[in-house]
Amino acid sequence: MDKKLLKKFNQTNVNLVVSGYPQEKKGGKNYGIAWYTKQILEPIAKKYNQKFVVLGEKNSDYRGIKSELKAGRRILVLRVFNQKKISLYPEILKILNLFPLIKNVYVHSEFGMSGNLWHFGLIIPFLTLIRLKGKKVYFFAHNIIDNVNMLSGHLNLVKNSFKSQFLNLALRFYYKSLSFLSTKIIVLDQTLKKRLSSFISKRKIITTILPVSPYDGHLTKEEAKEKLGIDQKEKVLLYFGFLTWYKGVDWLIETFNQIKQTKVKIRLVLAGGPSYTLANQPYYQNFYRQLVTIAKQNPLITITGFVADKDLVYYFRASEALIMPYRGLMGASGVLTQAINFQLPFFISKPMGICLDNYWEKLINFNLKKTDLNFDHTTKDLKRILNLIKDEKYLAKVKRLTQFLQGERDLEKVVQNDYKNFYQIKQNQKCSLWGRKMNWQTA
C-alpha cells in the first residue's frame, strides 16, 4: 500500500467509513449501501473539503488491497474485505490500525441482508474493539428489525421456532449493545427511528433521509424501449433490485403469470438478478431457479440479470410504473428513491406503506388516495395495477406526486444536514471516551 497515501489520510481531520462503495466493473459489489455512501460522501468532500477513508468491499477473486482516489483525491477507497468470509472483521480491524490518528469511524450495516447470522452476531465485538482503540463509532443501521419472523423466507427460518425466538431475544441485546457502543445510531427513516426507540433512547438516534438526484437527461421512453428491445406497443411494469423472497418477487412473478392479458400487452421487467449475498445458499438457489423457470415460459416476463449503473436509466425511462411488492419494511427504500429521481409512478405493498406515513394525508393535493398507490398481495390488486398503468391521466397525477417528493428529499439539503449533524470535525473541542481525552470531535 502506498505509504504517501497512508500518511496523507492518517490525520485527525479525516473520517473513516466502513461501507460498500460502487465498483465500475461488471459483477462488482454494487448495492444500496454502496450507492448511498457515494452519493453522500462525494458532495461533502467536494463542497466542504472534508477527507474520508472508505474501507470497502472487494471482488472475491481479488486477494490484495486495491486503492482508489475519488472526489478530487479527497476520498481514499481501500477495497479490503469480502462480506461473505469469516475474516470480514479481522481484515477491517487490521487496516484500521494503519490510521491511528483518525478518531471518528462510521460503520454501515444492514442486518439480515447477507443471510449470514454470524455477521449479525459478531458486529458487537467488532464495534467493541474499535472503541478500545480510542475511536468514536457512528453506526448506520440501514435495517431495523423488531421480529425476525418477517424475514423467515429470506433467512430460511421457521416462523415462531426456537431459533426465531432466540434471535428475537438476541435482537434486544443487539440494539442495547449498539446504543452503549455508539456515539450515535443513524437511521434513514422516521419509521425506523420509531421502531428502534422501542429498544433504546431516542436521544441516541439521528434521523436522516435517502436523498434524490433528479434525472435531467433527455432520453425518451421510445428511445429507451428501442435500446432494450421492447416492443413500443407494450406497457412496462418494472421491478428493480435483487430477486429475493423478502421483496416479494416470487408473489409478483407467480401472480402476473396467472393473469391472462388482452388488447394492450403489459411486460413485467425484473431489472436485477440473484442476490450475491445469498447466491451460495441452496435454499436460495432453488428459489431463484423457480423464478427463472416461470419467466422462461412466459414471453411477457423478462429477468435481466445484473444491471450496470450506466444502463439503469434505460429501464426507468422505458417503464410506465414501478412496483415494490415487499413483504415488510426493513429499511429506507433506495428503489423508491430511484422512482422519485425519474418521476416514475409507483405502487407499494401495504406492508411497505409505512415508509410514506408522513405523506399519505397530502395525497389529496394530487387528487389521489392511499388505495391508489398501496396494494395487497392478491390477484385482484395486481389486476387493478395492470389496468392503472394504462391510464395516462392517473399516471400524470402520480408523476406530480414524485415531483413534490423530489423537493422533500433534495440532495443538497440532505448533504448539508448530514455534514453538520455528524460528519463535520471541529477543532479545540474536547470529549471523553472511556477516560481518554481527544482534541477533535464530530459536531
Q: Among 20-24, 31-35, 278-282, 301-305, name the most confident range.
A: 301-305
**Beta strand extents in 99-255 (DSSP E only):** 104-109, 136-141, 184-187, 205-207, 235-240
Alpha carbon distance 8, 431 (integer Å): 25
- Whether residue 346 is predicted with pLDDT greater than 60 in this model: the reply is yes
Per-residue pLDDT for 434 more than 60?
Answer: no
**What local confidence, expressed as pLDDT, does residue 436 receive?**
43
Instruction: Give the pLDDT of residue 117.
Output: 60
Give the three-class secondary structure for 38.
Answer: helix
pLDDT more than 70, % of the chain: 89
- Which pLDDT value is given to residue 62? 63
Could you report the per-residue pLDDT of 354-413, keeping only the tens digit for each? 778 777 888 889 999 998 999 999 999 999 999 999 999 999 999 999 999 998 889 999
Indicate whether 430 pLDDT > 60.
Answer: no
CB-CB neighbours of 136 under 10 Å: 19
Q: Which residue has the higher pLDDT, 142 or 50?
A: 50
Quick: pLDDT tens for 98-138: 999 999 999 998 644 444 566 667 889 999 999 999 999 99
- How far apart are alpha carbons 360 and 381 in whole angstroms? 19
- The C-alpha cell at 174 is 443487539
Contacts of 373 (CB under 8 A, 6+ apart): 346, 347, 348, 356, 363, 398
Q: How many whole angstroms separate alpha carbon 245 and alpha carbon 15?
A: 36
Number of helices (H) and strands (E), helices first, in the chain?
16, 16
8 A C-beta contact, residue 77 and residue 54: yes
User: CA nearest 419: which of 11, 49, 127, 96?
Assistant: 49
Average pLDDT value for the chain: 86
Q: How confident is the model at residue 353 (pLDDT cuts 50, 70, 90)?
A: confident
Q: Look up the pTM and report it.
A: 0.80
Q: What is the pLDDT of residues 209-253, one digit of tens each?
A: 888 888 888 999 999 999 999 999 999 999 998 899 989 999 999
Q: What is the pLDDT of residues 38-49, one digit of tens each?
A: 999 999 999 999
pLDDT at 26 over 70: no
What does the pLDDT average to over 276-282?
A: 80
The span from the CA of 18 to the CA of 55, in Å, is 5
Domains of the chain: 3-211+411-442 (3.40.50.2000), 221-408 (3.40.50.2000)
Mean pLDDT of 166-192: 89
Confidence at 9, pLDDT banded by 50, 70, 90: very high
Q: What is the pLDDT of residue 111?
A: 46
* pLDDT at residue 309 is higher than 70: yes
User: Can you give the pLDDT at residue 165?
Assistant: 83
> CB of 210 within 8 A of CB of 408?
no
Report the Cα 16 to chain-centroid distance in Å. 20
Which one has a higher pLDDT value, 25 or 167? 167
Residue 195 to residue 88: CA distance in whole angstroms: 28
pLDDT at residue 435 is higher than 80: no
